[in-house]
Chain A
């Protein structure tokens, strides 16, 4: 149980185009999902918190107009990188928090990640 998928696993695009990445919780509901970015040999950097049915909360320094997040259902959140540039090339990972858990618990399960390369 507690499986999270991401699609696509790898994408290459031209500079100036937009790319959408999907994050799905396959066997559980997730009212809250998170989007991270990982740079080479670095830890995970939280970009935003995605709540089902409401606007995402972005971390300081993350451009909300560039990284559009939609959490339309309890099992799906999407991250769209708009007008991508080479500096947006990175490994993007989502996580989903199990809904319905006791309030004092916070297990989060991660997707396999998406490697974005912008040429």
Chain B
């Protein structure tokens, strides 16, 4: 049972435009969400996170939106740059649910930003 889903395996956008990466979850106990960027043969790099008490968090070019009723979150990158090309993972955890802070990951979306 896949509790965190990234239904788009890949996304291609033009440099300077907005990239929107989507993530859906099924476990209503999840209350903390994170986005990571990953290059091949490297560990994931933390980008941005959001708690379920918020519906938006912004950090520079990155904004994460959370829609709890739809169990959906998205990562917006604007403007997109060629250096943003990587695999993006959505992760979720049930902090208040006593999960010992374990993260559940989606399968990732490969973002390609074309010059």
A72 touches B (CB below 8 Å): no
Are B95 and A110 in touch, CB under 8 angstroms? no
Number of B interface residues in the complex (CB < 8 A): 25
- Provide the A29-57 mask, 1 if CB < 8 A to any CB of B, else 0: 00010100000001110100101000001
In B55-111, the 8 Å CB interface with A consists of 89, 93, 95-96, 100-103, 105-108
A18 touches B (CB below 8 Å): no
| Smallest beta-carbon distance B52→chain A, Å | 9
Known contacts A34-B103, A43-B105, A49-B100; decide if A106 and B42 are in contact (CB<8 Å): no
A116 touches B (CB below 8 Å): no
List chain A residues, Cβ under 8 A from B46: 2, 107-110
Are A110 and B34 in touch, CB under 8 angstroms? no
Are A43 and B44 in touch, CB under 8 angstroms? no
| Smallest beta-carbon distance B2→chain A, Å | 9
List chain B residues, Cβ under 8 A from A113: 41-43
Are B34 and A104 in touch, CB under 8 angstroms? no
Are A103 and B103 in touch, CB under 8 angstroms? no
Which 3 residue pairs spanning A and B have beta carbons closest together? A110-B43, A106-B32, A110-B44
**What are 25 A-to-B residue pairs whose CB atoms are below 8 Å?**
A6-B43, A42-B107, A43-B105, A44-B105, A46-B103, A49-B101, A51-B100, A57-B100, A94-B43, A95-B103, A97-B101, A103-B96, A104-B31, A104-B51, A104-B53, A105-B49, A105-B51, A106-B34, A106-B49, A106-B93, A106-B103, A107-B46, A107-B49, A110-B36, A113-B41
17 further interface pairs, Cβ-Cβ under 8 Å (given A2-B46, A44-B44, A57-B100): A34-B102, A34-B103, A43-B108, A49-B101, A51-B100, A106-B32, A106-B34, A106-B93, A106-B95, A106-B101, A107-B34, A107-B46, A107-B49, A108-B101, A110-B36, A112-B42, A113-B41
Interface residues of B (CB under 8 A from A): 31-32, 34, 36, 41-46, 49, 51, 53, 89, 93, 95-96, 100-103, 105-108
